Structure 1
Amino acid sequence: MLDQFGEEPLMIAMGDTVAFPGGALVVDGGLAAAAVFQALYARTTIPFIPLLIRVFATRRGDLLQPLAGRLGDPTSSRGLFLSVECYERAPYLTAEAQGADAARASGLAPHGSLIRPYLDDCDAWHRFRASPTELGAVTSTIPTLILTGTFDPITPPTWGRLAAATLSNSLYVEVRTAGHGVPMDACTRGIMHDFLDDPDAPPDTACNEARAPITFITDVHLNGGIYRVATALRVGPGLATVAWPGLTVLILLSGLLLWPLPWLTRRRRMHQPVATGWVLAARWVAGLAALAAITFLALLVWTVLRTARTAPLILAFGVPGSAGLLFLIPWLVLVFGVLTLALAAAAWRQGWWSMPWRIHYLLVGLACLSYVGFLSHWRLF
């Protein structure tokens, strides 16, 4: 996958020309690797790594575009980061050390280094570097608790084990559900409290050993529109955004109420159909078109709300896989809409119903196409 991006980068148009010079995001192998690297930081994003890889592998720019604007941590300080890293870490990262790292990760090496960008800034930021004595391993018999996350990409468990090797009175605890930063849950708080209360006695780590492993989320129906709609609703949709679907749904509701339901009422009262043949078919086609459109909207809202309560990050990629069949319904709306327009033309030629009814029937057909157009505009279809 990374090699494919290296040979043929993915260009994604971006509206923010300040954050994205030229109004485009260029996804190459280095950026794809960096995105997975960043996802390893938090336990909330770790379960989505297979899904993120799938998005990159299928080159789904429509999913990457809305997420790209949220890359990075706005609370982090670039200046503080450079001050510490250039002093403490840059002396380690000699050309020989970087060559050894590249040899250990030969698949990543052709796509650049995750550390080189800030190394290039170090000389401009400051020229202070830690002395060799400061970079040596710490040797001590002081009781030490070492907590680390299994998925930590920047201070990995191997570093914790290296530290434990020269800290003879240390306890190494690895949290298998964590990334960079061990979660401050009841289990880890209990371990830390036990250690601080009596550093010479081993704390009870049974709760950590009993943790269930990470459950990766893979069964997701990819859809680039869910996140865009949710974002628009959060920031406040414009009048046009609300008026378009609002008017369309009102017409469709009227189509459901005024076409098949009156026929059913009359038939029940008179014990015989009041319309037959194509006239009857026309009523049911309009009703089914409206019913399909309203059903899709209701089920989509219910699915999004339920997912937002249980696993909201799924909405950045789409909806749970179990809801995938839901997106077949707009195709039915499109088919029924085209049939409604064809039957509307027949109604005008053959004089079915009065003129107001023919106009309304035509509006129902046009509303179906408007509905599908709205879904397509928001990439829900």
Structure 2
Amino acid sequence: DPVNPPTWAKETGKALTNSYYFEFPGMGNWVSATDPCAQEIITSFLTDPQSTPEATCLEDGEKVTFILPKDIYLESGISRFLTETKLESHNLIPLLALGFSMLLFVAQLIYFISLLVRRGMRGLLFEGQSNRLILIGHILATLVALLNLGFLWAFRQILNQIESTIPLVLRFGLPAEFETLFYAPFLAELMTAGLMVITFSIWIMGYWSIYQRVYFSLVTLAAVIFSSLLANWGLLILS
């Protein structure tokens, strides 16, 4: 504590009879009001001032840990993501855009599964050239949906876990051990570029019905929007 350093307590104790000195790592002043262990020691002292207070709880206390720059990944993106994805956020556009993307991703997963159930992968592979292009597009779209949905779910779970244990860490960034998670949206972004090419092709060549082309275009748009959101939040990076 830079305001009331431990040395002051030691000096004060020299002028008091029956004084005992205990130091609490990682705590500032007002430790007696905020730390259960300190309260136990105070109670023990008041019960019997002539005896050294019981202080075994100090041994069970959390050790001070330091967060170094090498231990942190994604310094700037966390706070923006947490702020803009709250329901009480003043700017609902990012939240609505995220909801739109998630809805289309789920729809794509359902559509592709139903397609496989109806025709099977073998049946789709041996159809005409246009259908093969569409199949490639749907495989890409499904992979993009899986990667993005999986990333968002895992990212949210990690944040919830950290917030419930050591929330202070999120002020600095994300622990570096989770860096590999961000390969998922990076790969999805590369595949999204392929989706854009296929979307352009099916419109130029007139493949598929107009409704199916519109649907596929919406899925591609959802992927582009999701990548844009991640980029805006500073989450679409690899160090």
Same fold (TM over 0.5): yes
Instruction: For residue 227 of structure 1, report the CA deviation from its aligned partner.
Output: 1.9
Q: Residue 73 of structure 2: SS of its match in structure 1?
A: strand
Unaligned stretches of 5+ residues in structure 1 = 1-151
Query: 2:127 matched to 1:272?
Result: no
Q: Which residue of 1 aligns with 2:93?
A: 240
Counterpart CA distance in 2 for 1:257 and 1:283 is: 11
Instruction: For residue 210 of structure 1, report the CA deviation from its aligned partner.
Output: 5.3
Query: 2:25 matched to 1:176?
Result: yes
CA contact (8 A) 2:18 2:49 kept: no
CA contact (8 A) 1:282 1:340 kept: yes
Counterpart CA distance in 1 for 2:122 and 2:80 is: 50
Identity level (%): 31
The count of aligned residue pairs is 228
Q: Of 58, 70, 83, which aligns to 1:208? A: 58
Q: Of 167, 172, 185, which aligns to 1:330? A: 185
* Cα separation, partners in 2 of 1:180 and 1:231, compared to 1, 3 Å: farther
Q: TM-score, normalised by structure 1?
A: 0.53
Structure 1 runs (4+) greater than 6 angstroms displaced = none
Root-mean-square deviation (Å): 2.7
Map Cα deviations across residues 229-263 of structure 1 (whole Å, 9 max, x no partner): 323417434332332222222223223333x3244
Query: 2:202 matched to 1:347?
Result: yes
The aligned amino acid for 2:205 is: Q
Task: Considering Cα pairs closer than 8 Å and 6+ residues apart, tell me whether 1 or 2 has the greater RCO.
Answer: 2
Q: Residue 204 of structure 1: SS of its match in structure 2?
A: coil
Instruction: For residue 169 of structure 1, report the CA deviation from its aligned partner.
Output: 4.3
Which of the two has greater helix per residue?
2
Query: 2:82 matched to 1:230?
Result: yes
CA contact (8 A) 1:338 1:365 kept: no
Q: TM-score, normalised by structure 2?
A: 0.80
Q: Of 175, 182, 189, which aligns to 2:39? A: 189
Counterpart CA distance in 2 for 1:248 and 1:212 is: 42
Q: Which residue of 2 aligns with 1:373?
A: 228
Which of the two has greater strand per residue?
1
Unaligned stretches of 5+ residues in structure 2 = none
Q: Residue 31 of structure 2: SS of its match in structure 1?
A: coil
Counterpart CA distance in 2 for 1:243 and 1:178 is: 42
